[in-house]
Structure 1
Amino acid sequence: MKYLHPIRRVDPSSLVGQVYTQIRHDFGVVSDPFKLHAPIPELLAGLWAIVRETTLVGQVPWALKEAVAAAVSQTNACPYCVEIHASAARLPSPSSLADLLKQGRTQDISDPAVRSIVTWALSSSQASTIKTLPASFSAPEAAELLGVVVTYHYINRLVNVFLPESLLPSLVRGGWLGKQVWKQVGHKLAQGRNEHKPAGTSLRLLPEAELPAELSWAAASPTISHAFAGWAARLEEKGAEILSPQVRLVVNEQLARWSGGVPALGRGWVEKVIADLKGADKGAGRLALLVALASFQIDERVIEDFHASYPTDAQLVGAAAWASGAAARRVASFLAPALASLPLSHPS
């Protein structure tokens, strides 16, 4: 893990300890995307809630949701997440789902259900390309799928900042050994996934909050609604604690004009946007904008500039998480057309 100090001892009675206990029980292992949130326990609880209540429980087959996570990760240039979630989807094919996504060969996915959901998920990152859901899902099932999309738009950005490109060394990633390792990873992740897990057990770790308008589709599921409302509320609280109103305004104004996709090459656009920010706000604004819109461009210099005024891991994680959440919520605002084919798009 880059830029963060490992937390070696966790009190089981603390909020981090309680979340870790739930993760081990339901997910099997506390993976690095969860661990990087540990400096701010409330954000760890929020992440766990949106992951659990969309990906691990519900009516949509978990392998389809893993395929959605892999496709979204491909749109965000997050190879770490593409490999893991493509392996979990366990596509029966001579080529792995990860390879098909990276090579743009989605037409070669033999399973029509997987092919249609992957095609839909790939369209979800830009307002101009979003497609309707490819089958007659119910509104609660749509909430699961849209929840997975938003969850991984959030996770991908943070993984790009804090984690390496892959769990595997570069020497074995593309070869026979790498394929065998990912096959075993997929098998391990699949264990226990078909066992029934009750919805809502993560929610006691989150506050009740109002669901933001761009997440209104989540209201079709009370558990998903509670999870996303609590997650969004915690992010806003931490963003306000760490970042100035000026920085948050600049980021939100830029996101309001963003319709998806990646900004121009280089960072000239960032420097123009933050030109009027002063002092500590300049480094904070640079970090937040890059996390939101080009997370793969963040390097040690960006982190050092931020740390000059914000020295702690909690400040770094909180600022990055707020910016990533703001971008994910902007993507959520693109998703209304996805519901157009449903017989019931909203709860009555």
Structure 2
Amino acid sequence: MAPGLVRVALRRTLKDVKHVEAVRPRRARGLVREVYRQVERDFGMLAPPMALHSPSPEVLAAAWLMLRESLVAAGVSGRADREVVAAAVSAANDCPYCVEVHAMAIGSLGQPDAAAALAANAPGEIADDATRALAGWARGAGDLPEGVSPAAAAEFTAVATAFHYLNRVVTVFLGDSPLPDQVPESARGTAKAVLGHFLRPGTPPPAGQSLEFLPATGADGPDWAEPGSTLADAFARAGAAFEAAGTDVLPPRVRELVRRELKAWDGRPPGLGRSWADGPLVELPPAERPAARLALLVAKAPYQVDDLVVAAARRGPAGDRGLIELVSWAAHAAAEELGRRLSLRPRGEDVSRDGG
């Protein structure tokens, strides 16, 4: 399977997006078309986790700003280390789609043992001490390796935040594998090898080129980002877009309830079934509960979202755009909170592990 055919096959997987209809590349116009072009140029393919956002152009741009500027663009840390963070967060969030993609990328960058360990959700089996520590930190189970500079720590926190967001959205809207359903089991090993080669990052593009898709906010950005940095600007712009989207589809008291629940959450799975959400929802009017239930599940237990939950929530927000905006707001609220907690963990001494 040639790289060009892989790209075509991945484009065809857009029809496998659940609950909404992603904009096809040939039908893309305006902001969606511009973002699509940059995604294919810089990421190498129109990744379905990006394209699924296309019913809401501004949310699509926000998701791309976070992914590009944290994982793809040039920085002080190496792409392999950033991919380790992406895969470790995805494994902790039980997002098999993202684990598969980013474990393949790690393998393509010459770290097959780390790729295998992360794919198996066994980061303790990573041979390299620093890589193992980095994966543990990304899961919230340890400190950053000694020698990680503040600039690199900000990049790792940005990646972790982006993937706490993407894992939730992918769990709701995509299946368990990036490979098309039509690929037979007998061919999946070969297809994975080709896709892994295709995912191998090339020369990183310059930072900041996605900022043009969303307006500046004047905000400082998250606390973990250096004020005035590209990361601070990108995450501030993206955050403003997600907040505007949430304001359009969720009443203020629903958004406040979700934020309050996230502040009190210890980050662990809330339990079997969805009854844990019933208590908080009692304080809301019945008409607001379906959308609030979906938002709470996305934030704390996206694997519990099913067709019935989505169908009930869609009676409020109208159409695909409203659903994307609701889910994206809740996913970003969770990612923002979890990223803030990661950034507060103690760091090792300030000597360089940049460029690894």
What TM-score, normalized by structure 2, do the two folds share?
0.86
Query: Which residue, 186, 189, 203 being the options, matches 1:195?
Result: 203
Q: Partner residue of 2:283?
A: 276
Q: Partner residue of 2:106?
A: 89
Is the CA contact 1:23–1:48 (under 8 Å) kept in the aligned structure 2?
A: yes
- Decide whether aligned partners of structure 1 residues 93 and 137 sit closer, same or farther in structure 2, where only a CA change above 3 A counts: closer
* Cα offsets for 1:153-192 (capped at 9, x unmatched): 000000000000113478989x7753433222121111xx
Q: Partner residue of 2:77?
A: 60
Partners of 1:305 and 1:270 lie apart in 2 by: 15
Q: Partner residue of 2:30?
A: 14
Is the CA contact 1:132–1:337 (under 8 Å) kept in the aligned structure 2?
A: no
Partners of 1:221 and 1:142 lie apart in 2 by: 16
**Residue 136 of structure 1: CA displacement?**
1.4
Matched, 1:37 2:53: yes
**Residue 339 of structure 1: CA displacement?**
4.9
Is the CA contact 2:71–2:79 (under 8 Å) kept in the aligned structure 1?
A: yes
Identity of aligned residues (%): 37
Unaligned 5+ runs, structure 2: 1-16, 352-356
* Cα offsets for 1:29-67 (capped at 9, x unmatched): 111111111111111111111111111121211122112
**Residue 149 of structure 1: CA displacement?**
0.2
Partners of 1:94 and 1:219 lie apart in 2 by: 33
- Decide whether aligned partners of structure 1 residues 203 and 252 sit closer, same or farther in structure 2, where only a CA change above 3 A counts: same
**Residue 225 of structure 1: CA displacement?**
0.6
* Cα offsets for 1:109-149 (capped at 9, x unmatched): 233343232222122xxxxx4x3210312222111111000
Is the CA contact 1:84–1:182 (under 8 Å) kept in the aligned structure 2?
A: no
Partners of 2:348 and 2:260 lie apart in 1 by: 31
The CA RMSD measured in Å over matched residues stands at 2.4
Is the CA contact 1:143–1:220 (under 8 Å) kept in the aligned structure 2?
A: no
Q: Partner residue of 2:3?
A: none
* Cα offsets for 1:235-280 (capped at 9, x unmatched): 1111111100121111111111012111021111112211232243
Partners of 1:48 and 1:217 lie apart in 2 by: 19
Is the CA contact 1:146–1:335 (under 8 Å) kept in the aligned structure 2?
A: yes
Q: Partner residue of 1:126?
A: none
**Residue 211 of structure 1: CA displacement?**
4.4
Alignment of 1:161-200 (within 5 A): 161-168=172-179, 177-190=187-200, 193-200=201-208
Alignment of 1:337-348 (within 5 A): 337-343=344-350
Corresponding residue SS for 1:66 = helix
Partners of 1:84 and 1:53 lie apart in 2 by: 18
Q: Partner residue of 1:74?
A: 91
Q: Partner residue of 1:323?
A: 330
Q: Partner residue of 1:119?
A: 136
Is the CA contact 2:165–2:335 (under 8 Å) kept in the aligned structure 1?
A: yes
Instruction: Give 1:310's aligned amino acid.
Output: P
**Residue 209 of structure 1: CA displacement?**
2.0
- Count the aligned residue pairs: 333
Corresponding residue SS for 1:334 = helix
Partners of 2:321 and 2:266 lie apart in 1 by: 30
Q: Partner residue of 2:18?
A: 2
What TM-score, normalized by structure 1, do the two folds share?
0.88
Partners of 2:346 and 2:32 lie apart in 1 by: 36
Is the CA contact 1:71–1:101 (under 8 Å) kept in the aligned structure 2?
A: yes
Instruction: Give 2:212's aligned amino acid.
Output: R
Partners of 1:40 and 1:252 lie apart in 2 by: 23
Partners of 2:177 and 2:130 lie apart in 1 by: 28
Unaligned 5+ runs, structure 1: 124-128
Is the CA contact 2:21–2:55 (under 8 Å) kept in the aligned structure 1?
A: no
- Decide whether aligned partners of structure 1 residues 9 and 178 sit closer, same or farther in structure 2, where only a CA change above 3 A counts: closer
